[in-house]
Structure 1
C-alpha cells in the first residue's frame, strides 16, 4: 500500500512545546504575506508570453540542479534526466520522472525534500509518497495539472501572491519581455530585470573579446579602449534602470576590489583586447573592474549583490558534455575583510550605495561579514543561498550574525531559483525558520513577543523592499 504525503503544520518550528507555541503565533503573522523575490532566475519570457509548462520532468527536474546533482551523485546519468537534451518526448520525460521517484530516499533530510513535498501537495494535490510504484500515477497527476488553463505563469503569480519577481539578465539583453510586461495593463504584478555583467568582467576568459564587442554594438560605445568599456557599462546600467532594474548581481571566485592606476588599467585592458593577458593580470583587471562597479552603484543607486567563492563546472567532462551550470559547482573558502577594504574605504559610507554580500563559506559570518555590516552603512549580509539555503544553515546564520549586526543589517530572503513552482515553498521555509529563531529570543526573554512579531513582519514585507529599493 502506498504511503501518504503529509505536510505537518509545525514543520521546521522549534521542538520545545512552549517555544513552538510562540513560533506558531509569529508564523501566523507572516504566513500569508505577499512574496517579494528580489533575486532569482525565472526566465522573463515565461511570464511575458504566459508560456505553458511542457511536462513534469522539464517542470520539476531538468532545470533544477539542486535536484539533478544528488541523483547524479547516486549514479544517474544527467542525460537520463533531460539535461542537455532539449524538449523531451513523453517516454523520455516519464522515464526521468521515474528516476526521481525511485531515488526519493536520496532526498531525506534535505531542503529539496521539503520543497518538492510542498509542491506535490499544495500545487498538484498529490498525496502519494514518490516511489517506483507510485511514479507513473504521480507523473499523470502532474501532467493533468499542467494541462489545466490556470496552470500558467501569470495565473500562478497571482495564486502564489508574488508581488515582485526579479530576473537575472545579460547586459546586452534588449529587455523586450520586461517592456511587454510593463506595458500590459492587465498584468498587476512586478517583474524587474537584474544587471548581471560577470562575463564582461573576466578579461582572461575565453570569448571575452567577442562579448565586449557585442557590448559596443548595443551601447554605441567604443570598447576598443578601457574608457569605452567603462562608458559602455554605464550606458547599459542606465538602460536597465530605465526599464525597472533595481540591482546588479556579481559572482566571481573572490571578492577582490583592489584598484590599479588608470594607466595600468588601460595597459591591461589593451592586453586583454589583444588576447594576450595572463591569468593573474586578468584577475587584477577584473578586481579593478568590480571596484568600478561599486563606484557606479554608489552613483546610480542600483543595489549591488556579490556572491563569490564558487569553483564553477568542477567536473570538466560534465561541462564538455552538458555545458555550464548543471550542478557541478562547488563552494570555495572566501576572504572578505581585506578583499572589500578598497571598495568600502572609498564608498562604504556613500548614502546611495547598498552592497549585499552573500557567501557559501559559513566561517565568514561572525568573523567578517557581520562585523563589516555592523560598521558600514552601505553593507548588508546576504541571507544563506545555494547549498546553505537549508534549515540548519539558516539557523546558524541567524545565530552568528544577529548577535553582532542585528536583524536590520541583513538582506531579506533570496530564493535564487529558476524552479518557479518552488518559490512559495522556499519562502515559507525561511519564514518558519526565522519565526522559530525569534521565538527562541522571546523564550529567553531577550525580546517581547510584540517585538518578535514586528521583526518577523519586517524581515518578510519591509526589508527586501528597503534593501533593493523597491
Structure 2
C-alpha cells in the first residue's frame, strides 16, 4: 500500500536529514551560524541604495538564468522570460513551470525561498500564482524586505561582490559610509584584461583600463602596471580576494613567444593564434597571481564552463542568459604546471579551485594536496560544487571526493554564486546535505558518535574555516 504523503511532509524542519545524528548536527551546530558568502554576483549598488523591489518578479526572476533555462525547456515563449511580457505574466509562467521542475534543485530552492523569506508554505503552481505574487509583492514594500534586510534575515555576515578592475567601487564606498550590518567587500575579476581573443573588444577594454589607471596602455609592461594600480586601489577598499572564470588554467614555456609582441599584434587589429593567446593569458595571470600573493589575497579559479554556445541567442540576448554548459577541457597538467610555476618562487597565494565538470572532482581533490605546504591550514582549497554542480548530487560528490582524497575538516564551505538576494537558503541546503552525510556515516558505524567533536567539524566547515581563511575586516578600508 502506498503511504499518503501530505504537503506538510515536504520541507519540514528535518528536510534532507535522514537520521537522528544528522538532525542533531544540523539543528545544534550548523543551522544558526552566520553566513560568509565569499563569492556572488549581487549588484553592490542595490546593497548601497538598499533597494526596494517593486514586485516578486523583479527580485526573483530578473537575471536568473537557472529559471530561464527551465522555462525554455517547457516551451515558454521568450516574451515571458526575458522579453516584453509584464512582471505578473512572467511570474505566472514561472509558477506554472514549477511543478515540472521536480528533481531539479529549482524545485527545492523555489519552495525554500518562498518559505524562508515570505512564510509561504504552499506548493507553487499556476493555480495559486496570483495569490503568491500579490502576497509576496506586498511584503516586498515593507522596509523589512529591502535589500539589506533580506541579507540580515538570513544572518549574512560577509558578502563579496564580483568587480572588474575598471570599477570605481563607488557603491562599496557609499555603503561603508552608511555603516550597514553586513560587511560588503569587492572581489577583483580581471578576466577582460587578458581576453585578447577578440581584438576589437580587447582594445576597447584597454582604453577603459588605461583611463582609470591614468595612462595609455601600449605595452605589456604598461598593462601590468595598470593592473597593479587597480589592485592597490581595490586593496585600499577592503578587497582581499580575486576571482577568474576560465575554461582552464594556462601554461606556456614557449620562449619563442613574447607577450609584448602579442599585445602589439592585437592592438593593430590582428587576431592572435591559439598558441599566442595561451601564452599571453599565462603571462598576465602569472603576474597577477604574484601581485595577489604580495597583498596577502586569496585567488579563486572557476574552471570548466563552456560559454555562449548558442550564437543566435547570444546575438539576441547577450551573454549570461542561460546558454552555457559544462565543458570537457583538459585540466590536470595545466593546473599543476601553473601552480608549480608560482610555488617554485614561493609566490603561490591561498587558492580556491572550482571545477564545473564532475569528472574532474578527483583531479582537484588530489591536486590541492600537491601545494598545501603547512604554512596555512587548507591553503589550497577544492571549492564547493559550482553552477550546475551546486545541487544535492553535485555537492555530495564534491564533499565525498574531498573527504576521500583530502581533508573535509579544512573545507571553507558554501557560497551562493548568485545574482539574487533570495538565494541564501542555498547555504542551508548545503548545511543540511553536509550534516546528513556525516550522520549517515555515524548510523552506518563508519564514524563514532562523538557529538562535540563532530559538531565542531560541522561548525568549522559551515563558518569558522572561512572566517579564519579570509582576511576580511572593516578596518581594511582606507577612504
TM over 0.5: yes
Describe the superposition over 1:298-333 as per-residue Cα deviations: whole angstroms up to 9, x where unpaired.
222221111121121111111111111011111102
Q: Secondary structure at the match of 2:371?
A: coil
Matched, 1:355 2:357: no
Report matched runs for 1:155-234 at 5 Å.
155-185=149-179, 187-205=180-198, 206-234=200-228
Equivalent residues of 1:41, 1:167 under 8 A apart: yes
1:24 corresponds in structure 2 to: 23
1:9 corresponds in structure 2 to: 13
Displacement of 1:408 = 4.2
Matched, 1:276 2:270: yes
Matched, 1:422 2:420: no
Describe the superposition over 1:180-215 as per-residue Cα deviations: whole angstroms up to 9, x where unpaired.
122223x22200001111112111224111101111
Gaps of 5+ in 2: 1-5, 373-378, 473-479
Describe the superposition over 1:305-362 as per-residue Cα deviations: whole angstroms up to 9, x where unpaired.
1112112111111111111101111110233321123322232373761111101111
Q: Distance in 2 between matches of 1:84 and 1:259?
A: 48
Cα distance change, pair 66–452 in 1 and its aligned pair in 2 (3 A): same
Q: Distance in 2 between matches of 1:442 and 1:51?
A: 45
Q: Secondary structure at the match of 1:304?
A: strand
Out of 142, 146, 153, the position equivalent to 1:152 is: 146
Give the TM-score taking structure 1 as reference length: 0.92
Q: Secondary structure at the match of 1:195?
A: coil
Describe the superposition over 1:340-388 as per-residue Cα deviations: whole angstroms up to 9, x where unpaired.
233222323737611111011111112x211111231242111101001
Matched, 1:344 2:348: no
Q: Distance in 1 between matches of 2:348 and 2:247?
A: 26
**Divergent runs of 4+, >4 A:** 3-6, 259-263
2:477 corresponds in structure 1 to: none
Cα distance change, pair 40–460 in 1 and its aligned pair in 2 (3 A): same
Coordinate RMSD, CA, aligned: 2.0
Report matched runs for 1:10-409 at 5 Å.
10-14=14-18, 20-28=19-27, 29-81=29-81, 83=82, 92-185=86-179, 187-205=180-198, 206-258=200-252, 261=255, 264-280=258-274, 281-348=276-343, 350=346, 353-366=349-362, 368-377=363-372, 378-409=379-410
Q: Secondary structure at the match of 2:246?
A: coil
Displacement of 1:261 = 4.8
Q: Secondary structure at the match of 2:411?
A: coil
Q: Distance in 1 between matches of 2:155 and 2:410?
A: 26
Give the paired residue count.
Answer: 454
Q: Secondary structure at the match of 1:442?
A: helix
Q: Secondary structure at the match of 2:157?
A: strand
Displacement of 1:457 = 0.4
Give the TM-score taking structure 2 as reference length: 0.90
Equivalent residues of 1:255, 1:335 under 8 A apart: no
Q: Secondary structure at the match of 2:299?
A: strand
Displacement of 1:410 = 3.4
Q: Distance in 2 between matches of 1:259 and 1:111?
A: 43
Equivalent residues of 1:103, 1:131 under 8 A apart: yes
Q: Secondary structure at the match of 1:420?
A: coil
Displacement of 1:287 = 2.7
Q: Distance in 1 between matches of 2:279 and 2:271?
A: 11
1:462 corresponds in structure 2 to: 464
Q: Distance in 1 between matches of 2:294 and 2:189?
A: 18
